Amino acid sequence: MTNLLFLLVCLSLGAAFKRGSLLQGNAHMVINQLLLYVCLPAATLVYASEVRLNSQMLMPVLMPWCLYIIGFVFFKLVSKVNSFSSHSEAVLIMTAGVPSVSFLGFPIFELFYGTEGLRIGILMSQAGSFMVCATLGVITASYYAAAKPSLKTILANVLGFPVFIAFMIALAMNFLHLSFPVFVKEALQKIAAPFSFLALFSVGLQIDFIEKRDLWKQLCTGLCFKLLIAPLLVWLAIFPIAGQTGIVAEICVIGAALGPMNTAAIIAIQYGLHPQLASAMVGIGLPLSLFTCLPVYYLLQWFNG
């Protein structure tokens, strides 16, 4: 009950601040920048450096890559049947194909599974969803926007991202069996501590149930795949087919059920790919997935119980 109350309070506060105009302009973008450049790199340094890699840890890394490829094929077929525009098709591939592991997954994984869940989530985010977004996502956006994908741009996006830099440092420390001094670790933990609250508060600020009827068909299609079909496919692949169980397998399923990734939507908007649809997928998909992830979690507990 405490976890559920925390989720609802953070989300409600964000929505209330937005409705009451207590924060002006694109406040959520400022908060997201703070999370991306301060809190998240600190959390990455602390927890990713302590992750002990094994064969089972390949699952959270590979899941976002497989999900994006499946989503690409799915929306190519669906777009032909529904006559969606090429820009709508691109936005659905990019947003519904990449889960918001860092902004939404980290606080949810931490709430459900504690520090171990956060560590697995960081691995899923940095080696999985972020890399997918920075490579396949940029290539997809470039292709649909009729721009030529630049290897230099892709490398700059990946190598210059603060969280990725922190992840590489943590990964090197992991392989070299190094650790931070206690006072450094404690300082990093304090910097990372506001992440869960701020991330969920930011999601609340982005709630915007727009009334444009021309977007609802695309929205329903994209969110149906992201919130229902994707976790079902991952569950089938990992549990009945592969026979995997445990915290890593469960986090993969919950990760697949997370809402669209903010960064993917931002990239789509920057390339001029239906900005309204990209914003709506995040603004509606993120808060909605908070409530779809809960039944997924409890269903997994019941299934494994």
**Is 15 part of a structural domain of the chain?**
no
CA 266 to chain centroid: 13
Residue 106 domain-assigned (yes or no): yes
**pLDDT at 19 exceeding the cut of 90:** no
- Mean predicted lDDT score pLDDT of the chain: 84
Confidence (pLDDT) at 210: 55
88 domain-assigned: yes
Q: Which stretch of 50-54, 79-83, 121-125 has the lowest confidence by average pLDDT?
A: 50-54
pLDDT above 70 for 145: yes
* Phi, psi for 243 (deg, rounded to 5): 70, 25
Write the DSSP assignment of 254-299 as a string of letters. HHHTS-B-HHHHHHHHHTTS-HHHHHHHHHHHHHHHHHHHHHHHHH
Q: What is the mean pLDDT of residues 13-21?
A: 83
Question: Would you say residue 17 lies in a domain?
Answer: no
**Above 80 in pLDDT, residue 50?**
no
C-alpha 251/C-alpha 119 separation (Å) is: 11
**Confidence bin at 53 (pLDDT 50/70/90):** low
> Does 209 fall in a domain?
no
Q: Is the whole model's pTM more than 0.85, yes or no?
A: no
CATH code of residue 158:
1.20.1530
Domain count, the chain: 1
Q: What is the span of the domain harbouring residue 102?
A: 26-202+215-304
Residue 111 within a domain: yes
For residue 250, being part of any structural domain is answered with: yes
| pLDDT single digits (tens) 88-107 | 999 999 999 999 888 788 88
Q: Provide, rounded to the nearest whole percent, the portion of the chain with pLDDT above 90.
A: 26
Phi/psi at 233 (5° precision): -65, -45
Q: Is residue 8 part of a domain?
A: no
State the average pLDDT over residues 31-60.
79
